[in-house]
């Protein structure tokens, strides 16, 4: 049994993998959320989002490499999570009649449930906004209008908002726990205390939610397709 | 004076009873009458057991030894909290003034597949012993005690090692952990020895072997819920888990050193 397999097979090794892949995910959602804020660029928003979509496609091999990396992170993160959850359940075959939580939080106790919701969301989101197959009115490279038309379905907008709330909760625990799992923090008087993770979680969740909410309340309306796209038609 | 308040309590106990390792257990209800608020929790059980014995019933089995909070023998889940409602207190040091007259108290054994019930509230914690034998030792030179400060140790390291060394191995961390993980226990040992110069020779081997033994004993993984630290009667910090993880990652990277033939004298 080689060292890498031994590492992956151990519960601690799996936690390390989850922490590393989780932090990659944190980096991704922060970047994605900031990119989305161009939706609020006013009259030029459709142009800005179009230019952004083109920018991400500057090098297709690079884009595919990043996508493959992200997919690998999701697969490793989810596999480790499910395996650990099974081990954890087996570690206490008989539960307590009464348990009074002293330190765990709503966020820490719902990591598995929230994670399952997030995986479902990722699949729906890719079908909806990346491939457009689950979208009523999809135009390749016109993300502004894709988002606006997409969120004019109130149920879908509600699902996105719910998923982003779950993402926020996942980050409140995960963004904090990842650093501690990797041993990257100093010893502390209040080791459960977290400020940065909570701030990141709130900013990311609200940032993402702002788009569907703005569409639902009518603050974002369809715009003519990006000027460059009209010209090329 | 002794601070005796002279108050007494009448309590209802909801206690897990189990005749033996394999047998099916269940909760039984007992009345504990006229319990002094100055009694410890174990003394309260002693009173109940005396009555049970007088009636010819089997007394409630529970582990205990020092009854002064230093040996780690005692431990039970009291109203859903390991070692009961007082922070940084073992069950033997928990006193009945923590409870109200007329209260119902639910008492359960530590629950983990690694800690099988032996009888009633007694569980088999030898899994902890096997984790210790896997790596919780140092290759010390035996003989006379060394001179004080012959080996200079930075104050922060000495303090951190002492904090970790406070672990009495009671198992409350496992009992309180939603995953029944032994990470706090194991990390306290890894940190206690690994922070000191005497612990350096086996530092990485220790992390690898003790962590591997945790898995072999079927303890769960660490989700950093923080329950262990709150339950720990010695207030051992989850900071030690960071130390264990760092050592484990470094050790996995280096690989386990091949032991040289012969060995040191
Ligand atoms: S009996 Fe020794 S710690 Fe409680």
Q: Domain B8-119: which topology? A: Ubiquitin-like (UB roll) (3.10.20)
Closest CA to B48 of B85, B6, B99, B13: B13
Reported as type and span, the H/E element at residue B82 is: strand B81-82
Work out the mean pLDDT of chain B and round it to a whole number. 93
Q: In this complex, is the C-beta atom of A185 within 8 Å of any C-beta atom belonging to chain B? A: yes
pLDDT score at A189: 86
CA distance B203 to B191: 9
pLDDT score at B120: 97
Long-range contacts of A12-16 (CB under 8 A, 24+ apart): A12/B183, A12/B211, A12/B221, A12/B222, A12/B244, A12/B245, A12/B248, A13/B248, A13/B252, A14/A80, A14/A83, A14/A84, A14/B221, A15/A80, A15/A84, A15/A181, A15/B221, A15/B222, A15/B245, A16/A181, A16/A182, A16/B245, A16/B248, A16/B249
CA distance A110 to A101: 14
Total-model pTM:
0.92
Query: Which residue among B73, B121, B125, B166 is best mutated to probe the pocket of ligand 1, counting the most ligand atoms within 8 A of its Cβ?
Result: B73
Dihedral sign, Cα of residue A154, residue A116, residue B111, residue B169: negative
Of A12, A90, A180, the CB nearest to B248: A12
Q: In this complex, is the C-beta atom of A14 within 8 Å of any C-beta atom belonging to chain B? A: yes
B8-119 and B125-254 share one CATH topology? no
Adjacent-strand bridge partners of B37? none
Residue B45 has pLDDT above 90, yes or no: yes
**Which ranges constitute the DSSP H helices of chain B?**
41-54, 126-135, 155-165, 172-176, 183-194, 203-216, 227-231, 239-254
Closest CA to B178 of B222, B137, B236: B222
Contact A109 B255 (CB under 8 A): no
Q: Tokens 């995986």 identify what position?
A: A119
Residues B201-260: tens digit of each pLDDT: 899 999 999 999 999 999 999 999 999 999 999 999 999 999 999 999 999 988 766 555
Asked if residue A88 lies in contact with residue B180, where contact means CB atoms within 8 angstroms, the answer is: yes
Give me the residue spans of the domains in chain B: 8-119, 125-254
B62: tokens are 């529970």
Asked if residue B180 lies in contact with residue B186, where contact means CB atoms within 8 angstroms, the answer is: no
CA distance B167 to B246: 20
Judging contacts by C-beta atoms under 8 Å, the chain B residues touching residue A79 are none
Contact A88 B178 (CB under 8 A): yes
Q: In this complex, is the C-beta atom of A106 within 8 Å of any C-beta atom belonging to chain B? A: no
- Residue B207 has a CB neighbour count (10 Å cut-off) of 27
Of B81, B183, B220, the CB nearest to A102: B81
- Beta strand B104-108 with B117-119 is unpaired
CA distance B71 to B108: 20
Residue A104's SS3 state is coil
Phi, psi angles (nearest 5°) of residue B84 = 85, -170
DSSP letter (8 states) at residue B32:
E
Q: Tokens 């997919």 identify what position?
A: A71
Rg (CA), chain A: 20
* Residue A20 distance to chain B (closest CA, Å): 12
Of A99, A173, A182, the CB nearest to B245: A182
* Structure confidence at residue B189 as a pLDDT band (50, 70, 90): very high
CA distance B62 to B90: 13
**Which ranges constitute the DSSP H helices of A134-226?**
143-151, 154-181, 196-216
* Residue B101 distance to chain A (closest CA, Å): 20
Contact B222 A101 (CB under 8 A): no
**Ligand 1 contacts CB of residue B67 (under 6 A):** yes
What string of pLDDT tens digits covers the 233 residues of chain A?
A: 588 899 999 999 999 999 999 999 999 999 999 999 999 999 999 999 999 999 999 999 999 999 999 999 999 999 999 999 999 999 999 999 999 999 999 999 999 999 999 999 999 999 999 999 999 999 999 999 999 999 999 999 999 999 999 999 999 999 999 999 999 988 888 999 999 999 999 999 999 999 999 999 999 999 987 666 665 54
Q: Does A95 reside within a domain? A: no
* Structure confidence at residue B1 as a pLDDT band (50, 70, 90): very low
**Ligand 1 contacts CB of residue B71 (under 6 A):** yes
B224: tokens are 């950093």
pLDDT score at A233: 46
Residue B216 contacts by C-beta under 8 Å, 6 or more apart in sequence?
Answer: B130
Q: In this complex, is the C-beta atom of A133 within 8 Å of any C-beta atom belonging to chain B? A: no
CA distance B34 to B26: 26
**Ligand 1 contacts CB of residue B166 (under 6 A):** no
Closest CA to A205 of A73, A82, A114: A114
Query: Domain range for residue A84?
Result: 2-89+105-224
Nearest atom in ligand 1 to B63's CA: 1
Number of domains into which chain A is organized: 1
Contact A91 B176 (CB under 8 A): no
* Structure confidence at residue B5 as a pLDDT band (50, 70, 90): low
CA distance B152 to B145: 15
Contact B111 A96 (CB under 8 A): yes
Q: Does A229 reside within a domain? A: no
B76: tokens are 């039970």
Q: Does domain B125-254 have CATH number 1.10.1060.10?
A: yes
Residues B58-100: tens digit of each pLDDT: 999 999 999 999 999 999 999 999 999 999 999 999 999 999 9
């Amino acid at each position: 049994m080689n060292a890498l397999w031994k590492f992956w097979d151990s519960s601690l090794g799996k936690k390390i993998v989850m922490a590393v892949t989780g932090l990659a995910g944190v980096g991704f959602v922060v970047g994605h959320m900031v990119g989305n804020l161009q939706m609020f660029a006013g009259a030029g928003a459709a142009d800005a989002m179009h230019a952004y979509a083109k920018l991400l496609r500057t090098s297709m091999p690079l884009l595919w490499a990043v996508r493959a990396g992200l997919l690998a992170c999701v697969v490793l993160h989810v596999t480790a999570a499910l395996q650990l959850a099974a081990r954890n359940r087996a570690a206490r075959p008989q539960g307590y009649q009464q348990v009074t939580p002293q330190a765990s939080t709503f966020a820490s106790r719902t990591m598995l449930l929230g994670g399952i919701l997030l995986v479902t969301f990722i699949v729906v989101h890719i079908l909806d906004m990346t491939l457009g197959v689950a979208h009523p009115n999809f135009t390749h490279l016109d993300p502004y209008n894709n988002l606006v038309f997409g969120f004019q379905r109130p149920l879908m907008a509600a699902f996105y908002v719910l998923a982003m709330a779950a993402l926020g909760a996942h980050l409140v625990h995960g963004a904090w726990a990842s650093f501690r799992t990797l041993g990257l923090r100093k010893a502390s008087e209040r080791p459960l205390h977290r400020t940065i993770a909570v701030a990141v979680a709130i900013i990311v969740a609200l940032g993402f939610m702002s788009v569907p909410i703005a569409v639902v309340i009518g603050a974002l309306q369809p715009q003519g397709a990006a000027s460059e796209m009209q010209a090329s038609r | 004076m002794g601070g005796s308040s002279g108050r007494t309590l009448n309590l209802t106990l909801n206690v897990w009873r189990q005749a033996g390792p394999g047998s099916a257990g269940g909760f039984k209800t007992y009345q504990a009458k006229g319990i002094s608020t100055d009694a410890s929790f174990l003394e309260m059980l002693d009173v109940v057991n005396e009555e049970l014995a007088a009636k010819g019933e089997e007394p409630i089995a529970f582990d205990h030894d020092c009854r002064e909070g230093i040996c780690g023998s005692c431990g039970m889940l009291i109203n859903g909290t390991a070692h009961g409602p007082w922070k940084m207190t073992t069950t033997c040091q928990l006193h009945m003034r923590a409870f109200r007259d007329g209260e119902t108290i639910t008492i359960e054994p530590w629950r983990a597949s690694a800690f099988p019930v032996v009888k009633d509230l007694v569980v088999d914690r030898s899994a902890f012993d096997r984790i210790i034998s896997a790596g919780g030792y140092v290759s010390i030179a035996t003989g006379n005690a060394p001179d004080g400060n012959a080996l200079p140790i930075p104050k922060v390291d000495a303090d951190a090692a002492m904090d970790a060394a406070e672990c009495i191995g009671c198992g409350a961390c496992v009992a309180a952990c939603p995953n029944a993980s032994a990470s706090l226990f194991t990390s306290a040992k890894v940190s206690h020895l690994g922070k000191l110069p005497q612990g350096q020779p086996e530092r990485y081997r220790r992390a690898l072997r003790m962590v591997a033994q945790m898995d072999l004993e079927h303890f769960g993984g660490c989700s950093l819920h923080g329950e262990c630290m709150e339950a720990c009667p010695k207030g051992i910090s989850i900071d030690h888990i960071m130390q264990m993880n760092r050592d484990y990652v470094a050790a996995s990277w280096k690989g386990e050193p091949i032991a040289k033939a012969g060995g040191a004298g």
